[in-house]
Structure 1
């Protein structure tokens, strides 16, 4: 797997020069640190499974780095030093915490008649993250594709099955393409220990059935874009015949914070016509989350209802992942508190 995007680094992964480059003016420490915020947020999100916890972890990393910057002696690159701090921040946050998951990781699919139940705490769930918070805006297309694939909700959920240090090893080695020696230095460990942890992590992910492919998907092609346009049209018109034609036969619907989830397009349509009938008249505003197409869903009265993250499969809609914590998520995605057309660019 190739190295993912590394905004703020030189071509060989080293630190940004303090003088800003050839002939440039010296850069302030805060600017040097901030150059790494996006990639560090992506790393912490993969570690923690929460956009909010990832941003808190990166902020703590920046604070610690700022306070210690005058003692940074350059024995490693600035990037390596920041990842060392971020890793220890994440490992501290993960002590004693339960692993985050998706509804399908916790139980078998429900039926349309199953009571929706009581919502579980936010700490139960893998949450969505806006692409712009974790993916570099420019870079090598192959690296960008790898980065997109490794923030996919299913893959982030699979990472949570790993012990925290194994998780860090696998992300650093397989997602960011660090050498075993570099990871050993970061973790104050040995190369043999890192290689052993990586082997165990790979085995666990293989058993989970969800690993990031070496050949990651490219940005949406014309056919996928057309599929999404047809989906928006069918959903907003609440045309169940048109929607059924777009859904994969094994399409899933999940709705954190509720544990209930459904599988199969027949059950999805029954849900929308029954318990989910309040979705009629909704409007969908496009956003981008977890390397996938996504939408902010507003009810007919203009109130926020969900962030939908869409997975496609075999030319159809394969998963509708709907996150209902709109009070926190809509501001995170830059969406207005009431529907009034697309958000400003």
Structure 2
């Protein structure tokens, strides 16, 4: 087996699998490294009774289950604590690793991904499942392994897989409401998406709060993990934008994150200074309006996104 070639061929999709399982790039990288070490050590014993890809998914899934069982499940801000009205105190940065992290797509490498399978709401719902149910749902419905293949991967029975899948589907359906972002963006069409992105970038860079608020749904949310503060409803979001967000200037670069519209946000903290990556914003769209802005501002997360270009 040409191990380096096999790793290069499957690395990104295995990382995506680990991300879905764990809701975190950091944890996914840990699981992937554990997978690759185990695969390298066991390569000579691989007998070819399944494909190399299936063999790697077996190792990766068990690595993720072990990590999930010893770490706290990742959550979105509304699952961590109540919303706020006052903008005076955004709280202390939560240093414990509790928040879901973004999946920022690398355009060439991520074309094969089913984007709805990394949407924030779906990944968040997965984290509420027991690790085994999480694995079954992803392997069956995202990666489309058969029930018999999943039973073999997880060292269990086909009946157990089918039972776990039924429970997992029910639990996820209870937490994910409304159509997936894929369908919302398809309804907007390419021109509608482009218009929304252009309007958002223009309003944000001009610090034009009325125009920005005009893009929001009435029940819009603004979250900013790892800060605990988040704002619920258009009035609360407008208050935050007015009081706190535009003390310095910004430049935005559109991107795709979690299968959703997103932006790399570069902030200039000092007049005349350079712009530095300060956030990745992911938009959740509903009926053509922005229902949620999830602003990921954790420096540790941003350092993971080394492929994002510096702002010129």
Deviations 1:113-165 (A, max 9, x none): 473111213511000122129x85445xxxx5xx1011011110100000000
Question: Which residue of the partner structure matches residue 5 of structure 1?
Answer: none
TM-aligned CA deviation for residue 106 of structure 1: 2.5
Unaligned runs of 5+ in 2: 270-274
| Rounded Cα–Cα distance in structure 1 between residues aligned with 2:39 and 2:130 | 26
| Rounded Cα–Cα distance in structure 1 between residues aligned with 2:263 and 2:180 | 25
Q: Which of residues 121, 128, 144 is equivalent to 1:154?
A: 121
Change (3 A) 1:212 1:196: farther
Q: Which of residues 232, 245, 250 is equivalent to 2:201?
A: 232
| Rounded Cα–Cα distance in structure 2 between residues aligned with 1:191 and 1:213 | 29
Question: Which residue of the partner structure matches residue 272 of structure 2?
Answer: none
Deviations 1:71-127 (A, max 9, x none): 100011111110010011111111232111001123333213473111213511000
Contact 2:185 2:285 in 1 (8 A): no
Question: Which residue of the partner structure matches residue 218 of structure 2?
Answer: 249
Question: Which residue of the partner structure matches residue 172 of structure 1?
Answer: 139
Change (3 A) 1:39 1:211: farther
Q: Is 2:244 the counterpart of 1:270?
A: no
Report which stretch shifted further, 255-264 or 301-310: 301-310
Give the paired residue count: 305
Q: Which of residues 38, 58, 67 is equivalent to 1:64?
A: 38
Structure number with the higher helix fraction is 2
Question: Which residue of the partner structure matches residue 11 of structure 2?
Answer: 37
Question: Which residue of the partner structure matches residue 316 of structure 1?
Answer: 289
TM-aligned CA deviation for residue 229 of structure 1: 0.4
TM-aligned CA deviation for residue 292 of structure 1: 1.6
Task: Give secondary structure in 2 for the equivalent of 1:117.
Answer: coil
Unaligned runs of 5+ in 1: 1-17, 19-27
| Rounded Cα–Cα distance in structure 1 between residues aligned with 2:69 and 2:81 | 25
Q: Is 2:130 the counterpart of 1:163?
A: yes
| Rounded Cα–Cα distance in structure 1 between residues aligned with 2:111 and 2:253 | 24
Question: Which residue of the partner structure matches residue 252 of structure 2?
Answer: 284
Change (3 A) 1:330 1:230: farther
Contact 1:296 1:330 in 2 (8 A): no
Task: Give secondary structure in 1 for the equivalent of 2:226.
Answer: coil
TM-aligned CA deviation for residue 329 of structure 1: 1.0
| Rounded Cα–Cα distance in structure 2 between residues aligned with 1:126 and 1:234 | 27
Question: Which residue of the partner structure matches residue 83 of structure 1?
Answer: 57
Task: Give secondary structure in 2 for the equivalent of 1:299.
Answer: strand
Q: How does 1:1-345 map to 2 (within 5 A)?
A: 28-113=2-87, 115-132=89-106, 136-139=109-112, 144=113, 147-210=114-177, 216=183, 221-278=190-247, 280-301=248-269, 302-335=275-308, 340-341=311-312
Task: Give secondary structure in 2 for the equivalent of 1:36.
Answer: helix
Aligned-residue CA RMSD (Å): 2.3
TM-score for the superposition, normalised by structure 2:
0.90
Question: Which residue of the partner structure matches residue 13 of structure 1?
Answer: none
Contact 1:287 1:333 in 2 (8 A): no
Report which stretch shifted further, 186-195 or 109-118: 109-118
